[in-house]
């Protein structure tokens, strides 16, 4: 009972901020363009600030590389599986297969994990997320562009990956930690102001993400069956895979602690990347609405699964 109360206590702020987003949507408080700008603020400023501080304070060990690689390869395998499933389920929707791979860590995962665990533990989620971030930037983006007939220039993909604020924050944070640069600048009192600024910017991430999630929640009755079947099939495979990866890789092969297991399960219950609908415009409004509904309802399923995960662990 005490565990349930603890979970509810920490979940209430998240739920209330999501509900605030729903209320703002009903009031038409924000324009679609404003919502897009808020997302850019999260992805380009507040989340990179969080990631830099997280990795700068982290000792990066070699076994993390193996974990990153395994998550990356898993995402590639799931995209291959999704491509086979999509041909049979929704052949008219070119981006439907992408729903079976990748995770929305940036716009949801970090907010969930940070809400329940100490900031010192956040790097464990970030480590596991790196593999799928690389996958989304390079493999999924290339796949979606090819499926929708967009230009697919590898050089442009590599450039956008390299200059992404999220990637730059991770790399710069790791370099600062590994080189001892972060410990060195910490000796100067003036750097305290820089740290405080980054922490304030990072603190914006959670409330903004929750409001955006609430604002975008929607479900159309005509899409209910496909939406439900897609979410259940995806989550079933993801959870089963997380159990296997946790047992054989995190616990036995790498010998990492329990919080890495929690981070893995948190990632694997998240919805697919929210960027997918961007590539579906050529498939028509009906197909775009279906993808949006699946992502939206998956958010609710992910929240419920996360609460259950916290109580079990």
**Domain of residue 216, CATH code:** 1.20.1530.20
- Residue 9 CB neighbours (<10 A): 9
Domain boundaries, position 75:
2-312
Pick from 56, 282, 296, 291: nearest CA to 150: 282
Q: How far is CA 194 from the centre of its chain?
A: 26
Per-residue DSSP letters for 150-207?
----HHHHHHHHHT-HHHHHHHHHHHHHHHTHHHHHTTSTTHHHHHHHHHHHHHTHHH
**pLDDT at 99 exceeding the cut of 90:** yes
Confidence of residue 151 (pLDDT cuts 50, 70, 90): low
Average pLDDT, the chain: 89
Per-residue DSSP letters for 222-259?
GGHHHHHHHHHHHHHHHHHHHHHHIIIIIIIIS---HH
Q: Residue 176: CB partners within 8 Å, gap ≥ 6?
A: 52, 55, 56, 182
**pLDDT at 153 exceeding the cut of 80:** no
**pLDDT at 9 exceeding the cut of 70:** yes
**pLDDT at 3 exceeding the cut of 70:** no
For the stretch 41-53, pLDDT in tens is: 999 999 999 999 9
The pLDDT assigned to 159 comes to: 86
What whole-number percentage of the chain has pLDDT above 90?
Answer: 55
Q: Tell me the average pLDDT across 114-127.
A: 90
* Total domains, the chain: 1
The pLDDT assigned to 158 comes to: 86
Confidence of residue 313 (pLDDT cuts 50, 70, 90): confident
The pLDDT assigned to 92 comes to: 80
Q: How far is CA 48 from the centre of its chain?
A: 13
Q: Residue 162: CB partners within 8 Å, gap ≥ 6?
A: 168
Q: Tell me the average pLDDT across 197-209.
A: 91
Q: Tell me the average pLDDT across 130-149.
A: 88
**pLDDT at 87 exceeding the cut of 90:** no
Q: Where is pLDDT greater, at 188 or 265?
A: 265
**pLDDT at 282 exceeding the cut of 60:** no
Rounded CA-CA distance 28/22 in Å is: 10
């Amino acid at each position: 009972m005490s565990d349930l109360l603890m979970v509810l206590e920490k979940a209430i702020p998240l739920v209330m901020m999501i509900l605030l987003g729903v209320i703002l949507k009903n009031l038409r408080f924000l324009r679609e363009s404003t919502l897009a700008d808020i997302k850019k603020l999260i992805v380009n400023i507040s989340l990179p600030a969080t990631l830099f501080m997280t990795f700068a304070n982290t000792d990066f060990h070699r076994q993390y590389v193996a974990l990153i690689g395994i998550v990356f390869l898993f995402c590639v395998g799931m995209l291959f599986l999704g491509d086979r499933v999509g041909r049979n389920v929704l052949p008219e929707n070119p981006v439907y297969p992408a729903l079976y791979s990748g995770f929305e860590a940036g716009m949801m995962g970090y907010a969930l994990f940070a809400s329940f665990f100490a900031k010192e533990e956040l790097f464990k989620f970030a480590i596991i997320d790196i593999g799928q971030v690389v996958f989304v930037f390079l493999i999924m983006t290339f796949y979606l562009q090819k499926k929708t007939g967009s230009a697919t220039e590898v050089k442009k993909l590599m450039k956008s990956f390299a200059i992404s604020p999220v990637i730059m924050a991770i790399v710069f944070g790791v370099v600062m930690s590994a080189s001892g640069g972060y410990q060195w600048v910490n000796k100067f009192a003036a750097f305290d102001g820089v740290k405080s600024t980054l922490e304030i910017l990072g603190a914006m991430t959670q409330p903004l993400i929750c409001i955006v999630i609430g604002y975008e929640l929607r479900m159309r009755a005509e899409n209910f069956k496909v939406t439900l079947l897609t979410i259940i099939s995806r989550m079933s495979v993801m959870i089963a895979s997380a159990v296997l990866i946790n047992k054989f890789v995190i616990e036995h092969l790498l010998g990492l602690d329990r919080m890495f297991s929690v981070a893995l399960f948190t990632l694997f219950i998240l919805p697919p990347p929210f960027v997918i609908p961007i590539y579906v415009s050529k498939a028509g409004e009906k197909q775009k609405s279906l993808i949006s509904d699946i992502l939206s309802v998956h958010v609710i399923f992910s929240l419920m699964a996360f609460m259950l995960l916290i109580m079990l662990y």
